[in-house]
Structure 1
Amino acid sequence: MVVDFLVAGRVDRVFGLQGGHIQPIWDQLGQRGVRIIDVRDEGAAVHMAHAHALLTGQCGIALVTAGPGVTNCVTAMVNAQLERAPVLLIGGCAPRPQDDLGPLQGVAHTEILQPVTRWSRTLRVADNVLRDLDKAMTTAFGDGNAPGPVFVEIPTDVLRERVHPNLVLDEYLWPYEPRLIPPEPSGIQRAAELISGAKRPLVVTGRGAMRAGGALAQFLDKTGAVYLDTQESRGLIPPDHPAMVGAMRGRAMQEADLVIVVGRKLDYQLGYGSPAVFPRSRFIRIADCVEELRDNRRGEVEIFASPARALEDLARAAIERHSRIDKAWTEDLRRGHVQRAERYAAALKSAPAGKDGHMHPNRIFAALQETLEPDAITIADGGDILSFARMGLSPGTYLDSGAFGCLGVGVPYGIAAALACPGRQVVVISGDGAFGINAMEIDTAKRHDAKAVFVIANNAAWNIERLDQEMNYGGRVVGTTLQYSDYSMMAKAFGLHAERVTDPARLRPALTQAFKNAPALLDVVVTRDALSSDAGKGLGWVPDHQALTAWDEAESRRRSQ
């Protein structure tokens, strides 16, 4: 019956790791032709389900056994929650007659996962399993709440029970259909008045806006507002759209007089919306869930609606009003954005080697710019390298470690992406530290023929932390250096095409060969001397009030005035 529910919901693959407690489900999946992507660690299964969900719009399904099988998933479930990823994790559970007797792998799974999921339940009554799975799936998709991960466990004896056909109601097998929430007309009118009166409007988007790209582009065209994406919304509009001013992010945030936040929390990446970071701004908040509507800064107008519907209505309302846009400001921001982006792109090819003689990590991105196809899926994983990747990768279909800073997602995300989108290039750029967390999943990539290319920027260090020690702790470098291990040898042991690259001139041909022979891994030796943007801005230093030192200093000034 569990598999009936998944098949009815158009689930064609499940990510998991086998165990006795889930054997009845596992066996039925195989019999029914549902593809099982068996992994080497349960957390990786949830990461794969997460990426599959974001790339396909489906609910990602992970299946794991009891005890350590479930607890190994906690970090990945937190990451999925922060990323609004619809994931259904099905866990094994000891048979009911063994309750409180000390059964094998009998721990309080639901209590452990309750704080990091949208819903966490034990399905103890076989007759109600379909109803409860329907509740779990709709909750994961965000029916009445933000999308996010849910957890259900089913005792093994319940899995073995038979349910009378009269109790199997067809309505619990209907595929989920998302609800469109229309905005209140009064909210649209008040927001339109604010927008028409603004001279320097700025739009910022997050994950909640990812299905609203067309409506967003129309709104930007009609209003003349400038636009900033975030980690959650890269590629939502084309990088050459005239509203895009990402390279002028700091100035846009400082000088905007109205900020329209769409489907995005005002978290640390946006300075919590603080007046220290947005000193001149009023806010409009648009979201389809309350937690993205009124955190940290309230909006003068708060529109609870599907973002696409709200933006469409606002674009129509904008046509009817006279705009007061400061065109000199928007044009100056756009010009500055284009100039900075062009300078940065040119500098990638000539980035100097470090004092250790190893190449600058930006040389990787110069080679990728010449190798990637327009519809390529790019994934960045790590600390230091993530900062370079955000600048060096062109916006498109992009995933990374996210607001949680969840290192280790790269290989699992890449596998899920390659399997979900087999006709597209998939490349994972990972630091060597981050790669090590789920490195064994390259075996999964090989076994399931997931044609991703894994590029390891190998600087033999946890480099943001090492630089913090160098700069702020008297040069006492402790526990932040690794070996220049040859990860290509590891990959070859699992049967992947692999190469170690130490010469920048070899990068482009190596990438070309890697894409032809994927799954593949390139171990690229890079310098520790390169200072990333995040390291330079103090992200690894953990200031008191804000994530970045400049914002923290501004916050301290605001608090002392």
Structure 2
Amino acid sequence: MSDSPTSAAALLVDCLIAQGCERIFTVPGESFLAVLDALVERPQIDLVTCRQEGGAAFMAAADGALTGRPGIAFVTRGPGATNASIGVHVAHQDSQPMILFVGDVARPMQGREGFQEIDFPAFFAPIAKWAARIDDPQRIPELVARAYAVAISGRPGPVVLALPEDMLAEAVPASLAPRPMVLRPAQAVCPDALAALRDLIADAASPVAIIGGAGWNAKARHYFQQFAERIGLPVATAFRRQDAIAPDSPVYAGNLGYGPNPKLVERIRNADLILAVGARLGEATTEGYTLPSPDHPGQVLVHVHPDPEELGRVYRTDLALCCSPDEFAECAALWDTGAIIPFGAGAEAHREWLEWATPRPSGAALDLASCVAAMREALPADTILCNGAGNFAGWWHRYWRYSAYPGQLAPTCGAMGYGLPAAVAAALRFPERCVVALAGDGDFLMNGQELATAAQHGANLLVVVVDNGAYGTIRMHQEREYPGRVSATTLSNPDFAALARAFGGWSARAETTEAFIAALTEAKDRPGIRLIHAVTDLEHIAASGATISGLRSRPG
């Protein structure tokens, strides 16, 4: 191997290639020009130019969720990094692998509060698995490999590496080779723990499973579904993890989170055994740590999670298994279940979910339940749905069938503006699949500029903007807590259809269900950007049937 020097930036890019990186999302900055220059000669990596660092970081987080390998973003120091921090927060709370590289001030400038200087290891420490600075270019292979290992091991999550500008331009020996690809370690299941679990299930009268989360993948979905169906175990999915099991599984009981089926809530409250696999049992999934409660009196909790620090951290756990969800699911699927009498509750729970998840028209001019039903008829079963935060998503969470894996990109941390960037990442990752971005009017304008990224990079995606002229979720809470006293939640919106046309897309405005269905029929087979501006009535504020008038009349 030649000993002629190369730049640290070129070495960094070669290390990314060695780790399997094939796409980078970025907003360019002068602090990492050397990296951008190195990428010119390395066509193995597709460089996606984004319009705001928050959008770039959302795309990287979504790409990590789709592939199970770290999504990669490059941003500049100061404003670029702080903008990108929202994507790091999503990757952290959603347990998704991601690496954010931040161009930093030159090493002689550090500690002087130079131009746009931030102490990035300190800034990102609370929301990243690991945050560090690479000051020595000869350690690039070591630290990049470590970043991948940290991001994908245990509970997956984000890593942040700061790159001093002068370090990137420094020469390093060409003999300094990238390290081989880091693979996710398989975490074996303890046979004794499996035997104990089998006994607990055999003794249970009304068990239920809550699945989806850290380390969940297609293998986990396949084998856990086999296991649950063999014993008739009702299976609920954690908040915004609805693709963790096929919706047509005869034991699928529905999803937890905001606005769940009341019958599913009662089933979990009455369960004598709860088997949580992959799920953190966070606030949204558990209705504020009440379903179950951290001490869950009268209930046995078995928690399967790939990170030992998560087990027993919030919940008293009767049996903790630290292992990969897919390894656990495969072992469970191969069990000799002779001692377990199959439960009839799985089929009963599935019937209850089917009844709850059947769209029923509300009488609104543009009825979102009927719109979801129309989308189910018109779009392929393997469609990927991407949404940010807001009540608008409740109709799809309740009525859509998340049939494929991966099939759902939705931030469990409730970040607005996620849906469109996530859809861009999904459309680039799976160009053969239908990708839908769902957004509320407030949600969409958080990152609507990424339509430019979709157009520039040829992404095919359908965008549905649900416009009720308000920050609807906040208005719902406002009407509940302070009836009739509207403050700061009313929105004056642009013509979203015209905005899509400005980006070169096709669009339509729909104020009735019939107009929405007609627009969907025309849009579904078109290429490129297609946007339906769905104008709804604020009075109908949630998929659960909540209305503004109903909230106002509700007792305090």
Given that 1:192 and 1:318 are in contact with CA atoms closer than 8 Å, whether structure 2 keeps it comes out as: no
Deviations 1:377-422 (A, max 9, x none): 1112231102222012212344354221111101100100000000
1:225-304 to structure 2, matched below 5 A, reads 225-246=233-254, 247=261, 248-268=263-283, 269-271=285-287, 272=289, 280-304=298-322
Q: Which residue of 2 aligns with 1:440?
A: 449
Q: Which residue of 2 aligns with 1:30?
A: 40
Matches of 1:312 and 1:275, distance apart in 2: 26
Matches of 1:316 and 1:359, distance apart in 2: 48
- What's the secondary structure of 1:297's corresponding residue? coil
Greater CA deviation, 304-313 or 54-63?
A: 304-313
Matches of 1:309 and 1:537, distance apart in 2: 45
Given that 1:273 and 1:296 are in contact with CA atoms closer than 8 Å, whether structure 2 keeps it comes out as: no
Matches of 2:240 and 2:410, distance apart in 1: 10
- What's the secondary structure of 1:352's corresponding residue? coil
Q: Which residue of 2 aligns with 1:544?
A: none
Given that 2:470 and 2:538 are in contact with CA atoms closer than 8 Å, whether structure 1 keeps it comes out as: yes
- What's the secondary structure of 1:506's corresponding residue? helix
Q: Which residue of 1 aligns with 2:30?
A: 20
- What's the secondary structure of 1:302's corresponding residue? strand
For residue 182 of structure 2, the aligned residue among 159, 176, 183 is: 176
Shift of 1:537: 11
Q: Which residue of 2 aligns with 1:336?
A: 352
Shift of 1:89: 0.5
1:279 to 1:522, Cα distance in 2 relative to 1, 3 A = farther
For residue 39 of structure 1, the aligned residue among 44, 50, 63 is: 50
Q: Which residue of 2 aligns with 1:54?
A: 65
Q: Which residue of 2 aligns with 1:402?
A: 411
Gaps of 5+ in 1: 542-548, 554-561
Please report the RMSD computed on the Cα atoms of aligned residues, expressed in angstroms: 2.3
Q: TM-score, normalised by structure 1?
A: 0.89
For residue 314 of structure 1, the aligned residue among 332, 340, 351 is: 332
1:80-99 to structure 2, matched below 5 A, reads 80-99=91-110
Letter in 2 for 1:97: P
Asked whether 1:393 is paired with 2:400, we answer: yes
Shift of 1:289: 0.7
1:145-544 to structure 2, matched below 5 A, reads 145-166=154-175, 168-170=176-178, 172=179, 174-208=180-214, 210-211=216-217, 212-246=220-254, 247=261, 248-268=263-283, 269-271=285-287, 272=289, 280-323=298-341, 326-327=343-344, 329-341=345-357, 344-345=358-359, 347=360, 350-353=361-364, 358-396=365-403, 397-515=406-524, 516-533=526-543, 536=546
Matches of 2:321 and 2:50, distance apart in 1: 42
Gaps of 5+ in 2: 1-10, 255-260
Q: Which residue of 2 aligns with 1:545?
A: none
Shift of 1:232: 4.3
Matches of 2:475 and 2:149, distance apart in 1: 44
Given that 2:25 and 2:74 are in contact with CA atoms closer than 8 Å, whether structure 1 keeps it comes out as: yes
Given that 1:66 and 1:94 are in contact with CA atoms closer than 8 Å, whether structure 2 keeps it comes out as: yes
Q: Which protein is richer in helix relative to its size?
A: 1
Deviations 1:121-153 (A, max 9, x none): 1100011111111111111112xx421000001
- What's the secondary structure of 2:182's corresponding residue? coil
1:125 to 1:369, Cα distance in 2 relative to 1, 3 A = same
Matches of 1:532 and 1:90, distance apart in 2: 39
- What's the secondary structure of 2:252's corresponding residue? coil
Q: Which residue of 2 aligns with 1:103?
A: 114
Letter in 2 for 1:26: L
Shift of 1:191: 1.0
Shift of 1:176: 1.7
Given that 1:84 and 1:147 are in contact with CA atoms closer than 8 Å, whether structure 2 keeps it comes out as: yes
Q: TM-score, normalised by structure 2?
A: 0.89
Given that 1:384 and 1:534 are in contact with CA atoms closer than 8 Å, whether structure 2 keeps it comes out as: no
Shift of 1:431: 0.5
Matches of 2:209 and 2:292, distance apart in 1: 17
Deviations 1:22-60 (A, max 9, x none): 100011112211211111110111100111111122210
Matches of 1:289 and 1:443, distance apart in 2: 39
Greater CA deviation, 271-280 or 372-381?
A: 271-280
Shift of 1:219: 1.3
1:160 to 1:218, Cα distance in 2 relative to 1, 3 A = same
4+ residue runs over 4 A deviation: 273-280, 533-538
For residue 127 of structure 1, the aligned residue among 138, 141, 152 is: 138
